[in-house]
Structure 1
């Protein structure tokens, strides 16, 4: 059933990983399987056997051609450098080539206590596994670069976090698992040869056009390319109110994908200070800080590549510093492009940034739901009855009422009709996001009652986030009083 594995990472020198076979579990049961993704990856679904699949996705049986390993990496965790982290509970089976010719990693997350586990149990609770499955697939449906969820299995065993919970394993698919922290691991050991190997792998796999550059330019260009993808990625996060929660350097993908969905969540009432993560006590990774923490992470990547950027360290630092400083303008451009689209604007005018900021200020003052505000703006392109649905989102309406005429005046210069503008706004402003209370409801039903119906219903809704789905209005609304979720947990 599995497609043929290639073993690019497994063929690197052994200091890049630790060989590790998944630890078998008691009673694996397949509870979620992403058939469209499996087909894209080249799985033989005609030969699909649920029991055999459960064994494979639990690690009880290793697919033919796989050579399981745990990858080495380091990382800054909440600003503190840890020189040895690595896959403490994840096992890379290998890579496969999908139907688009792209190389994709297949990894089991929660597969046992690896040599990098640092005293942990190497397992994963069901709740966080289902959270990552739901939210990563929702992000994919929203068009935001992300790792994907291929399967989830329960293990028939209990794991102990805050309370005992059912154990589970997630099968994750990624463009790669190369992280800023992977480079930091070898920089901490002054292993320039390994850094060059990683950089060449990243270029070959994710930025092949850079391979044509002279060596003296190639590695600075790699930092620039990663920076471009990170700026675009975080701008997209900001456009849907997504809060990653743990933007450590070991959670920053060289491929430009969203990776490691721990205590992540979606903001409801707009407030740049919003923090959900239970472990982010200082608010380091709050919603409004995300763009600048991405820049900080990119600076850490550039530091690791200094020996390759220029033999003269002072010149290397000068070049890297100039590039990292350029991130600000790049991010601002990406963010403004996202926000223009959300407001139905295609032309670029000088006052657009101020128009966007004025709306966000009105939303914050009125405690208005972030995503529903933009969605209902699309219904209120022209004054009329639909405007009432927008205004009801605001506790205080002075700001939005003053802003609407300015926006409509700006729309009049778009040279297209209101129906066209409304249509393109509905195409980029989701009606359905993973509302935190709905996610928690689905996770609790599965973990406490072995009831996966809420999970499946939510998964189905989130697969089509831009299209109105009659009868599913509750999935579009913010949490009712008493059901709001203010803290999310990592599960490690």
Structure 2
């Protein structure tokens, strides 16, 4: 097990969190244990009873946090500022320093805290099941995401207005690089605590951006905002290339390392549609697929605005003009990576123009012919192969006129990684995806007969493609 003298969160002091206790649960049935994630922080050797005592009973780990901590933050929810937030059904449970990297174990559904408001502090088992599959597939698709670490079913039944009730409950533990949110800084600006903003910035640089420690004062704040902007732009590009819609891009759901986390009403988009939304309550389409980059940039502006309270000379609006270039660069890079192709041109400008034309034709084909999003990336992996297109379940779309232009473009490109091109996954005719109908069909036997066979099969299918993207 990986220990350290004192968990870094204590450096911030009690103004940043509240000590809380986990709810006692009537039962603890292990439903998911992520051995890969456990290996990352040296916990893969835990016995079944140790795993339960830590991740269902939340007994303090030796040499770690003495009590669980509900972190304090505010945030914009659908662009309305809410000072009533904070960890309402989760808390920080433990921290691990592995080599140069700090990891947090946080919970979801572990009981009420001072920030629960009218909620019961619980999580539905279905919510936990959805988060497991989201994080597994996003990780397999190369998205910088939190990892679902553990899920226990707790033996409680919950009333929920958005799914058939009473419904089963679960408690989830997630492994994150950071739980410091944009809203953590916003809270301090709202409370006019400039000294604590400086304290939080220093903490964030020390543990998440140590390379920026050479800077002082305003320069440090500027370098920090730029680094967060780069990481967040990359993650946003990853979502877009995975056809993923987060659903609730509030400022309290974005953290300073740019990691994607907190999966409520997410969706993987079946067919390309910029107006596709994930949350039934997002009536205006604020967080629709095509509006994610704009929403993320708006959130970065709120972070910049909060930092400016302690660093009045911070030209945050100017600094955030880099977001578009960062996002476009990452989107192009990831697009090529997903298709496993590379541009043969040596001239940078000519190469960029050719890439832009090809991407434009690709998305034009998606918009006009309406093929399945993930299946199209799968079918065109490593370029156009007539035999593969012929055995695709959507082979008919490739006779659409808009494909002619795209094919012409694609034929100019070379294969990026011949080993990946030969991977057995691409010998299948169907891709591994997770659109809502499949999610529901995997859940149905769990809900009806407690039969997890389809879930286990899906996990194996997802894990077989890890490392391809």
Q: TM-score if structure 2 supplies the norm length? A: 0.90
- Matched residue, 2:407: 404
Match among 364, 376, 382 for residue 373 of structure 1 = 376
CA drift at 1:11: 4.2
Q: Is the 8 A contact 2:79 2:250 kept in 1?
A: yes
Which residue is 2:266 aligned to? Answer: 264
For residues 144-293 of structure 1, what are the structure 2 equivalents within 5 Å? 144-162=143-161, 163-293=165-295
Deviation at 1:304, TM superposition (A): 0.8
Structure 1 position 201, deviation (Å): 1.2
Q: Where does structure 2 lack aligned partners over 5 or more consecutive residues?
A: 345-350
* Deviation (angstroms), 1:84: 2.6
Give a deviation string over 1:329-378, Cα, whole Å, max 9, x none: 22111112222333412453313212211221111211111111121113
Q: Which residue is 1:129 aligned to? A: 128
Q: Give the match for residue 143 of structure 1.
A: 142
Using the alignment, how far apart are the partners of 1:226 and 1:308 within structure 2? 17
Which residue of 2 is the match for residue 472 of structure 1?
Answer: none
1:41 alignment partner in structure 2: 41
Q: CA deviation at 1:60?
A: 5.5
| Alignment partners' CA distance in 2, 1:131 and 1:206 | 28
Secondary structure of the residue aligned to 1:154 is strand
State the distance in 2 between where 1:393 and 1:197 align: 59
Question: Contact 1:235–1:338 (CA<8 Å) still a contact in 2?
Answer: yes
Offset at 1:245?
0.6
Whether 1:339 aligns to 2:338 is no
**Structure 1 442/418 Cα, relative in aligned 2: closer, same or farther at 3 Å?**
closer
Question: Is the CA contact (8 Å cut-off) linking 1:379 and 1:387 kept in structure 2?
Answer: no
For the 8 Å contact 2:88–2:121, the answer to whether it is kept is: yes
TM-superposed CA distance for 1:62, in Å, is: 3.6
Q: Secondary structure at the match of 2:213?
A: helix
Aligned to 2:118: 119
SS in structure 2 of the partner of residue 350 of structure 1: helix
Which SS does the other structure have where 2:76 is aligned?
strand
In structure 2, do the counterparts of structure 1 residues 467 and 20 end up closer, same or farther at CA, with 3 Å as the change threshold? closer
Matched residues in 1 for 2:253 and 2:433: separation?
Answer: 22
Give me the CA root mean square deviation: 2.6
Aligned to 1:440: 440
Contact 1:88 1:122 in 2 (8 A): yes
Q: 1:192 deviation in Å?
A: 0.7
Aligned to 1:54: 52
* 1:32/1:153 contact within 8 Å kept: yes
With over 3 angstroms needed to count, the CA separation of the structure-2 counterparts of 1:332 and 1:80, relative to structure 1, is same
SS in 2 for 1:213: coil
Give the Cα–Cα distance (whole angstroms) in 1 for the partners of residues 416 and 2 of structure 2: 50
- Partners of 1:420 and 1:450 lie apart in 2 by 40
Instruction: Say which SS state the counterpart of residue 434 (structure 2) adopts.
Output: coil
Partner of 1:326: 322
CA separation of 1:388 and 1:224: change in aligned 2, threshold 3 A: same
**What TM-score comes out, normalization by structure 1 length?**
0.86
Question: Following TM superposition, by how much is the alpha carbon of 1:282 offset from its aligned partner in structure 2, in angstroms?
Answer: 1.1
Change (3 A) 1:11 1:211: closer
- Aligned pair in 2 of structure 1 residues 440, 13: CA closer, same or farther (>3 Å)? same
- Distance of 2:245 and 2:159 partners within structure 1: 26
CA distance in 2, matches of 1:328, 1:60: 43
Cα offset for 1:455? 1.7
Q: Helix, strand or coil: the match of 2:145?
A: coil
**Partner SS state of residue 212, structure 1:** coil
* Closer/same/farther in 2, CA of residues 291 and 421 from structure 1, 3 Å limit: same
Does residue 1:364 correspond to 2:367, yes or no? yes
Question: Does the CA contact (< 8 Å) of 1:379 and 1:386 recur in 2?
Answer: no
1:186, 1:192 within 8 Å by CA — same for their partners in 2? yes
Give the direction of change, closer, same or farther, for the CA distance of 1:154–1:403 in structure 2 (3 Å limit). Answer: same
Secondary structure of the residue aligned to 1:299 is: helix
Q: Is the 8 A contact 1:3 1:44 kept in 2?
A: no
Q: Identify if the C-alpha distance between structure 1 residues 247 and 16 changes in structure 2 by more than 3 Å, giving closer, same or farther.
A: same
Deviation at 1:58, TM superposition (A): 1.7
| Alpha-carbon shift at residue 6 of structure 1 (Å) | 4.0
Deviations 1:164-198 (A, max 9, x none): 11110001111110010111111111111111111
Report the alpha carbon displacement of residue 111 of structure 1 after superposing the two structures with TM.
0.7
Bigger Cα displacement from structure 2, 235-244 vs 323-332: 323-332
2:347 corresponding residue in structure 1: none
> 1:476 maps to what in 2?
none
Go from structure 1 to structure 2 and tell me whether the alpha carbon gap of 1:176 and 1:60 turns closer, same or farther (over 3 Å shift).
closer
CA distance in 2, matches of 1:393, 1:111: 49
